Structure 1
Amino acid sequence: MRADARKNRDHLLAVAGTAIAEQGVDVSLRDIARRADVGLATLLRHFPTREALLDALLHTSFNELTAKAGALETDDSPGDALVSWLRDCVGWTTEYRGAVVLMAAAIEDPKSALHTSCVTLRAAGARLLTRAQAAGMARTDIDGADLFALVEALAWLGDQRSLAPRADHLFDVVASAILTSTASSDTEGERRPRARS
């Protein structure tokens, strides 16, 4: 890709990231193009679909979360590693309002531009879960698909303005339900205070 084309693409991604963070993933592509001071055709030339735009925008974050999962696989406490990754994953998905809905759909649709990234991210979380289960620190009746579904559910809570104040507390409730009692006591000191509403 030529340097000027790369610069234009990066500019579009920066503008799209701001617009999506403010208005959610349903923000008009025309509005993103207007904010970037380009025509809609220019935006579509770089990103032919909304999902292609989101995949490009979220790709770096997906890679970072996947890499973090890999690094955490050597953590001394598999339970703490799992909860740390889960918290980061949920926190990241709430940065872009509505992204979790697209992720939930994309993981079931191999034709989606987001599918590969979502599957890779789910597999990274599944490895952390399996490691915690093998150490007796996480319940064994859930799998990577369940864990990803919990990320989606917790991120959805964070997207709801009326429920957002309770999101941290509910995260702790879910994390406690995933971990066994031994792992739960290990992470108790890291828990955030219960949100009140």
Structure 2
Amino acid sequence: MVRTARKDALENRARIVEVARREIAASSTAELRLNAIAKEAGVGQGTLYRHFPTREALLVEVYRQEVDDLVDLAPRLLETAEPVDALARWFDRVAQYARVKRGVLAAVEASVWRDLTTHSLGPIGDAITLLLDAGRAAGQIRDDVDAGDVIVLIGYLSRLDDDEWDQRAHRPLHIILDGLRRRGS
């Protein structure tokens, strides 16, 4: 008999992950206090530890969810926007993702980090390829760039300090977007 999680357990888990994500995005330190997360999520510490037996397990889940959300956004944007506009909107979401990634990476040990990188580079590369291919098909994106180029360029986001985030997170993404455009489009 396959046992499925109860609705309240799934809701608790989702709240824990969302609170942890907000804390990571808002913090300039690698400190993530699990008791504070449990309290803000409205669950006991036992509930938190049932879902995430270690701090690293919670961090991994926050990061995986961020990657999945980012990857899932690309095709949805292409349904409602022109390719270059979709890429611009996706880059806005990349800035949010990078802030969380920076916080997670600051808090995670190297062995877990390698697992996260394996999870993200492939799917994020696929999302970028989808957006670039659509832009090329529409005659808007240069033919000489690929997902690897874009990943290298957006990698700077995870290295920004909090005091320069507002000034430096989005403007360079728009510069990158301009560099990806085919001349004359």
TM norm structure 2: 0.69
Q: Which residue of 2 aligns with 1:80?
A: 85
Q: Give 1:50 deviation, angstroms.
A: 4.4
**Given the superposition, is the C-alpha separation of residues 167 and 34 from structure 1 closer, same or farther in structure 2, using an over 3 Å criterion?**
closer
The Cα of 1:48 is off from its aligned counterpart by 4.0
Is 1:26 the counterpart of 2:23 in the alignment?
no
Higher relative contact order (CA 8 A, sep 6+): 2
1:66 aligns with 2:71: yes
CA distance in 1, matches of 2:29, 2:78: 32
Task: Give 1:69 shift.
Answer: 0.9
- The equivalent position to 2:96 in structure 1, one of 65, 74, 91, is 91
Contact 1:82 1:128 (8 Å CA) reproduced: yes
State, as a whole percentage, how many aligned pairs show the same letter.
29
Cα gap change, 1:45 to 1:118, in 2 (>3 Å): farther
State whether residues 66 and 120 of structure 1, in contact with CA within 8 Å, keep that contact through their aligned partners in structure 2: yes
State the Cα RMSD in Å: 3.6
**Equivalent residue number for residue 115 of structure 1:** 118
Structure 2 stretches of 5 or more lacking a match? none
Aligned residues: 175
**CA shift at 1:174, angstroms?**
1.9
Please state how far the C-alpha of 1:147 moved relative to its aligned partner. 1.5
**Where do residues 135-154 of structure 1 align in structure 2 (5 Å cutoff)?**
135-154=138-157
The 2-side partners of 1:102 and 1:182 are apart by: 44
Taking the aligned partners of 2:59 and 2:74, their CA distance within structure 1 comes to 22
The unaligned stretches of length 5 or more in structure 1 are: 184-197
Partner of 1:133: 136
Counterpart residue number, 2:179: 177
